């Protein structure tokens, strides 16, 4: 997979995607990085701590969130940040959006990956826009309601539909990541079950990105607020490495990077 010209050797290593929310109302760090100077400083910190990709988001997408942000307002939030990062740092960039207008503006500004929480199933133009720029994509599983006939096989089926949309639009097979969508369209128990069975997504033949950082699954398990969910997040990162995930998407880059390195060293010892 190539993102902004950087090649990622998927299957041999778990990469770290750092989260940059330029929103006033994100569930975990809303308002902390929604000025250009603070966003750039945090980007520099994440790069120093070992981030392989920076994922920029301009709208809170937490479950139960209220009104949808207008395209132009979302573009106004992310474009200056994306442009400034591209000018100052040599780091692959992802745009976290489910809207084709925002994705296109971000790709023009230099993003190399589209991270869509609806897996190209919300906006019919998303797949075409992504393919048109030769970009990579992350297709996340999501449903409006956590109702399934055969869970988690239904998750695989939904993701297969997302993959078909991408391929039919011309996205290259090697440019597709899948995200199980922990915390989206699933009950607390369903999230835990899918975490324990992440390896079933490998059966689809595409690399997996896991995004669990500070999410409600961890908060409900440990009875902790978002800012105290690091240890729980690290457990899920270790599991991601053990189950062959290609990426983890996290807020706390340094700590998760170390967890990845330690887990990979342990797993490599017997192979070596």
Over the stretch 242-268, which tens digit does the pLDDT of each residue have? 999 999 999 999 999 999 999 999 999
CATH number at 2-271: 3.20.20.20
> What mean pLDDT, rounded, does the chain reach?
94
Instruction: Please choose, from the candidates 167, 166, 161, 195, the residue with its C-alpha nearest in 3D space to the C-alpha of residue 180.
Output: 195
pLDDT at position 29 over 50:
no
Active site residue 215: yes
Please say if 249 is a catalytic residue.
Answer: yes
- Residue 170 pLDDT more than 60? yes
Weakest mean pLDDT among 29-33, 52-56, 144-148: 29-33
Asked if the model's pLDDT at residue 188 lies above 80, the reply is yes
Residue 107 pLDDT > 70: yes
What number is the average pLDDT over the span 171-197?
98
More confident residue, 225 or 65: 225
Q: 143 with 124: CB under 8 angstroms?
A: no
pLDDT score for 30: 47
Question: Residue 225 — pLDDT band, cuts 50, 70, 90?
Answer: very high
pLDDT computed for residue 63 by the predictor: 61
Residues 129, 106: Cα–Cα separation, whole Å: 11
Q: What is the pLDDT of residue 65?
A: 57
Structure tokens at 97: 């959006």
Q: Other C-beta atoms within 10 Å of 7: how many?
A: 9
pLDDT, residue 149, reads 98
Which of 214, 229, 249, 257 is flagged as catalytic? 249
62-71, 114-123, 127-136, 177-186: the lowest-pLDDT one: 62-71
Which residue of the set 77, 186, 214, 215 is catalytic?
A: 215
The structure's pTM equals 0.94
User: In the predicted model, what is the mean pLDDT of residues 108-113?
Assistant: 97
35-94 pLDDT, tens per residue? 899 999 999 999 999 999 999 999 987 666 557 899 999 999 999 999 999 999 999 999
Helix spans in 145-252 (H)? 153-169, 188-196, 216-222, 230-242
Nearest C-alpha neighbor of 117 from the set 72, 152, 52, 65: 65
Tell me what pLDDT residue 24 has: 77
Domain ranges of the chain: 2-271
């Amino acid at each position: 997979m190539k993102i902004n010209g950087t090649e990622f050797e998927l299957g041999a290593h778990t990469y770290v995607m750092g989260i940059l929310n330029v929103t006033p109302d994100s569930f975990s760090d809303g308002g902390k990085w929604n000025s250009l100077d603070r966003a750039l400083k945090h980007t520099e910190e994440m790069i120093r701590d070992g981030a392989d990709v920076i994922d920029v988001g301009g709208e809170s997408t937490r479950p139960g969130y209220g009104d949808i942000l207008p395209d132009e307002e979302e573009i106004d939030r992310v474009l200056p940040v994306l442009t400034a990062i591209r000018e100052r740092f040599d780091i692959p960039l992802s745009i976290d959006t489910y809207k084709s207008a925002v994705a296109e503006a971000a790709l023009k500004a230099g993003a190399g990956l589209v991270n869509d929480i609806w897996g190209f199933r919300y906006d019919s133009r998303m797949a075409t826009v992504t393919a048109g720029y030769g970009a990579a994509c992350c297709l996340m599983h999501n449903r409006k309601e956590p109702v399934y006939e055969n869970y988690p096989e239904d998750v695989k089926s939904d993701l297969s539909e997302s993959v078909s949309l991408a391929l039919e639009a011309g996205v290259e097979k090697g440019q597709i990541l899948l995200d199980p969508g922990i915390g989206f369209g699933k009950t607390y128990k369903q999230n835990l079950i899918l975490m324990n069975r992440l390896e079933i997504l490998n059966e689809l033949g595409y690399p997996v990105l896991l995004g669990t950082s500070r999410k409600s699954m961890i908060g409900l398990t440990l009875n902790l607020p978002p800012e105290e969910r690091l240890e729980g997040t690290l457990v899920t990162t270790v599991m991601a490495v053990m189950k062959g995930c290609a990426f983890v998407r996290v807020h706390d880059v340094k700590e998760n990077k170390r967890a990845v390195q330690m887990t990979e060293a342990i797993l490599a010892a017997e192979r070596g």
